Structure 1
Amino acid sequence: MSQQAQATDAAEIMLSVNNIEVVYDEVILVLRGVSLDVPRGQIVTLLGANGAGKSTTLKAISGLLKTEDGAVTRGSITFQGQTISNQSPQTIVEQGIFQVMEGRRVIEDMTVLENLRLGAFTRKDKQNIRRDMDMVFGYFPRLLERAGGLAGYLSGGEQQMLAIGRALMARPQLLLLDEPSMGLSPLLAKEVFGIIETINREQGLTMLLVEQNANWALRLASYGYIMENGKVVLDGSRAELVGNEDVKASYLGGGEERRSYKNIKSYKRRKRWL
């Protein structure tokens, strides 16, 4: 059990990933006993290098493993007390989880407005969709200016805004964000992160954020997990991770070269995977 779970009332844990293993094509073991908790209303971040297993963890939660011949073969994932392991993506969206994919994945030959409406395809409360559309345009005024234009003509930053806006149209209770700063200039990334922070603060929307820019991720998140080679190797509060010398050297630009936790004595004392 993580420090976070120990310090948080069980009723306040919205999502719990419990010692899961993920296998692709029935033979390739990618996740090796990953556990993490996401409390209601908070932003939690998942950090690590390329290939660490961060995106696979999100896909295990959102059900998108099924589209890539992957499956959770051990452990469990619970959302608001209900087991959701290996359920279909549509079922998981209907339960209140929406993933914003790496690379944005907007429908380029559809308009901005059509993309946003697509986010609400599982909803039955049609009378509230217009109100939520206005909310999205309030967070992203540039989308309103381009509402009738094709999404493929948007800039990278605008497409990221559209991807997040489309997710908000699903009225998620948990938003999974996979590398929202990928391919964006520092200025645009700062703008996108600022909007994410505002949405969390104003809407109380719970988020699990995968991000390689650890400095920004730890500004937003209250708690973080660090992954290497399909395992969580360290977890802690924002203050604990920012103040950790090994984290500074490996992820926050505090050292001349990136080091593996396998070579750090303090890591061995703090390892937590099962």
Structure 2
Amino acid sequence: MLELNNVEVLYDDVILVLRGLSLEVAEGHIVALLGSNGAGKTTTLKAISGLLGVEDGEVTDGSIRFDGREIHGLPPERIVREGIFQVVEGRHVFEHLTVHENLLAGAHTRKDRSAVPADLERVYGYFPRLGERRRQQAGYLSGGEQQMLALGRALMARPRLMLLDEPSLGLAPILMEEIFEIIRRINREEETTVLLVEQHARIALSIADYGYVMESGRVVLEGAAQALSENEDVREFYLGLGEIGRRSYRDVKHYRRRKRWLS
């Protein structure tokens, strides 16, 4: 469904962030994009969704194809109409609008207006708490409820491909598990393909079919999610499990990580 081939992204005409990035997302799958801060994961999503321009970034080389058609250069609203919707990091709900109005905003680009009421009820089925708070201003929701609202708003656009950027950010573990189970349900029940950027590698790989690991703007490792979860380097640096027991990849020197990926 989605293919990035040797994509380069430059910020402010100076900073090269993506350095020949190539990856594929198969239709109907959940694909996890893993990596440390600064690896280029969010930039990858913005290159796909057309949001680079608001940050003085641009794709300077390579191609981005969706269903075989080049989408690089299309404005973000056109990319949404093509069937791609990004849920950005930090939720960014419309705080002064109600839950109901936020969800309607997600359907703004749709032409099939008659189906919107049924889709609203479907979203409330996935997120009952949103149904209970449909008349409440979004700014008064908890962080977890705002994340639910951001996902629900994306669903209202009826995307074929959903780009999720750190959906676990700021969530308690029990709520994080709930959100990821809903993402899995959306993938299966709505047949929505998902490209998932996430630093919590364990939970991301638990719902993903395939995964990529990025370092310094490149893919350095890829494979089936199960295989990645059993990979020694991934276990040490991203799951916190190494030869000497539980540890955090943040405690490992960057040069050592690069040496092992690239060896």
Structure 1-normalised TM-score? 0.91
| Residue 11 of structure 1: aligned partner | none
Give structure 2 stretches of 5+ with no counterpart.
none
Identify the residue that residue 220 of structure 1 maps to in structure 2. Answer: 207
Looking at structure 1, the residues matched to 236 and 100 of structure 2 have their Cα atoms a distance apart, in angstroms, of 44
Amino acid at match of 2:31: V
The aligned counterpart of 1:105 is 92
Q: CA RMSD in A?
A: 1.0
Q: Distance in 2 between matches of 1:54 and 1:181?
A: 15
1:61 aligns with 48
Maintained 8 Å contact 1:66/1:86: no
Counting aligned pairs with the same residue, the percent is: 60
Normalized against structure 2, the TM-score is what? 0.95
Residues of 2 paired with 1:117 and 1:187: CA distance? Answer: 28
Q: Counterpart of 1:15?
A: 2
Structure 1: unaligned runs, 5 residues or longer: 1-13, 270-274
Letter in 2 for 1:134: E
Q: Answer yes or no: is 1:261 the counterpart of 2:257.
A: yes
Q: What is the number of equivalent residue pairs in this alignment?
A: 254
The answer to whether the aligner puts 1:26 opposite 2:13 as a matched pair is yes
Contact 1:102 1:180 in 2 (8 A): yes
- Aligned-partner Cα distance in 2 for 1:262–1:167: 35
Task: Quote the Cα distance in structure 2 between the aligned partners of 1:236 and 1:152.
Answer: 40
Partner of 1:197, secondary structure, is helix
- Contact preservation (8 Å) 1:109, 1:152: yes
CA distance in structure 2 between the partners assigned to 1:108 and 1:53 by the alignment: 29
Structure 2 match to 1:10 = none
Q: Contact conserved, 1:66 with 1:88, CA < 8 A, in 2?
A: no
Q: Is the contact between residue 71 and residue 86 of structure 1 (CA under 8 Å) also seen in structure 2? A: no
Q: After superposition, where does 1:182-193 map in structure 2 within 5 Å? A: 182-193=169-180
Residue 155 of structure 1 corresponds to which residue in structure 2?
142
Distance in 2 separating the partners of 1:219 and 1:27? 38
Pair 1:238 & 2:225 matched: yes
In the TM superposition, residue 236 of structure 1 has moved relative to its aligned partner by 0.6
Tell me how far apart the structure 2 counterparts of residues 203 and 112 of structure 1 sit (CA, whole Å): 21
Deviation at 1:268, TM superposition (A): 3.2
For 2:162, the aligned partner's letter is L
Tell me which of 138, 145, 164 is aligned to 2:125. 138
- In the TM superposition, residue 67 of structure 1 has moved relative to its aligned partner by 1.1
